[in-house]
Amino acid sequence: MEGLNLIAHNDLKNPATEAYRVIRTSIQFAQAGKELKTLAVTSCTPNEGKSMTVANLAVVLTQAGKSVLLLDCDMRNPTVHKNFGLSNKLGLSSCISMGTPLSAAVQATKVDNLYALTSGVIPPNPSELLGSERMRELLQEAREVYDYVLIDLPPVLPVADALILGAMVDGVVLVIDSGEVKVDLARDVKNQLLHAGANILGVVLNKVRSEHHGYGYGYYYYYGSKSSSGGGRWEVKGK
């Protein structure tokens, strides 16, 4: 797979793959009688691993027999087309601004039952497009076709895009670089999402050092538990 190590696809026995399965299971349990089909993944700042997380989460959902659409809404810095080696001539921006049908813009990936809607040509006004009524219509259309719609959002702090879309989807997962992001900053981002109306399902702590917990999984480490806020907390460690 170009540009991205899809560990959940390439190494089924890796502890990190099991970590993504734990996240999948936690999300399924979080439904509690309420359907969660549109799920967005974001971070506080750039380079915390949100795109890797959402892609691998999409893979483990397909492994559970689900059809998944991976939607690139990080229009300022799109990566889905690079990570999966796809064309970006048609994509989300085409569907919103030019009326391209969803079915014409969606592309199959090399992973069975995993489809992608890339960002399309980067527009001058991403926030306006993502907050449009057409965006709501596309989400509704996608949820009727696929079992899950996973959305790669931009980070929360640089732009308002994640807050706009976070309020439209069924749930949001926040990825945090455990070695870089301070607690106060993470708390501020969580509060921003909550105030915007987002349903935070949990937090993924990325790049966790296993020795902090006394375990020796080597390349990856994972841990799952309930947080005091009622959401889930999941940890994934990688170099």
Domains of the chain: 7-236 (3.40.50.300)
Identify the band that residue 231 occupies on the pLDDT scale cut at 50, 70 and 90. low
List, for residues 77-133, the tens digit of each pLDDT value: 999 999 999 999 999 999 999 999 999 999 999 999 999 999 999 988 899 999 999
List, for residues 14-46, the tens digit of each pLDDT value: 788 888 898 888 888 776 667 899 999 999 999
Comparing CA positions, the residue from 74, 91, 83 lying closest to residue 9 is 83
Asked whether residue 68 carries a pLDDT value surpassing 80, the answer given is yes
Name the pTM for this structure.
Answer: 0.85
At residue 80's C-alpha, the angle toward residues 79 and 81, to 5°, is: 95
- CA dist 5 and 164 (Å) reads 29
